[in-house]
A and B are shown apart, each in its own frame.
Chain A
Amino acid sequence: MSARRRFISMVAGLFAAPLLPARPARGQQADPFAPLVREITGGAAVRPGRVTVDTPRLADNGHSVPLSVNVDSPMTAADHVRSITLLSSRNPRPLMATFHLSPASGRAQVATRVRLAGSQRVLALAQLSDGSWWSGGAEVEVTESACLDAT
């Protein structure tokens, strides 16, 4: 296929993008995470705090953004983190991952690299051993490479 054909197919791809579900305008929906969070927690209250999400403020490329979650927990048999769930406010599939921890973890910290479809807020939900839910988030500005290729 020629470069021209490839270019045309890429341009066609750009125009196909608006067919994806539109992002709700700011103010229209105060919390983009609310419906999914309700589904995950079964409607239980989620308190902000104890969860820290660390990402670069400015990410190089949405294909791979370093992300680390830390939960303030002693990680003992009596008091530990059971799970950490990562949510995106803009990805076509907002549920990115769930990590299951236990007292055997020793430290409530998980790091990975995520895909982010554009600049957005990411949220981490943690469920503790007493059943309580906590959350923390981070804003990520996603930039893209100017040098794409067609192969």
Chain B
Amino acid sequence: MLARVQLPRTAKPGEVIEVRITIQHSMETGFRFELDGRPIPKNVINSLVARYNGAEIFRAEMGSGIAANPYLQFYTVARQSGAIEISWVDDAGNRGAERAPISVTG
């Protein structure tokens, strides 16, 4: 599963920074059918966690109400240099992770 994470490259200590995520995932609702009538099973990214140098800063529980190729944008306070890592799991048990570095100086 391909994903992208966007953060500012640098921030000042205490600055509120924007975190953006997109993940390539069909977020199957379970309500769709193949052309031959077979139902396509529900499979969505049901859980996503963002950690900043290991500490949880954001968590999402999602259902089929979140659009395909999910987009998330949230905020966190820049504390120290390091990385923000996003990890997630879907209904089929597939896991993914992506990280982006951040440099905090000031």
Contacts and interface: CB of A to CB of B under 8 A. Distances in A.
- A–B direct touch in complex (beta carbons closer than 8 A): yes
B76 interface: yes
B78 to A, nearest CB: 9
Contacts, number: 97
A106 B73 contact: no
Interface residues of B, number: 32
Contact of B64 (A5, A6, A86, A115): A115
Contacts of B33: 13
B3 interface: no
B33 to A, nearest CB: 7
Interface stretch (B51-59, B86-94, B96-104): B51-59
Interface in B23-82: 27, 29, 31, 33, 35-37, 52, 55-68, 70-77
Interface stretch (A41-49, A50-58, A94-102, A132-140): A94-102
A97 B67 contact: no
B104 to A, nearest CB: 13
B71 A112 contact: yes
A119 interface: no
Contacts of A93: 63-65
A129 interface: no
A63 B65 contact: no
A98 B66 contact: no
B57 A112 contact: no
B58 A100 contact: yes
Which of B65, B73, B76 has the most chain A CB within a 10 Å cutoff? B65
A97 B71 contact: no
Contacts of B68: 63-64
A109 B31 CA distance: 30
21 contacts: A9-B37, A86-B65, A91-B64, A92-B31, A93-B65, A97-B62, A97-B65, A100-B59, A102-B57, A106-B16, A106-B75, A111-B71, A111-B73, A112-B67, A112-B70, A112-B73, A114-B67, A115-B27, A115-B67, A116-B65, A150-B35
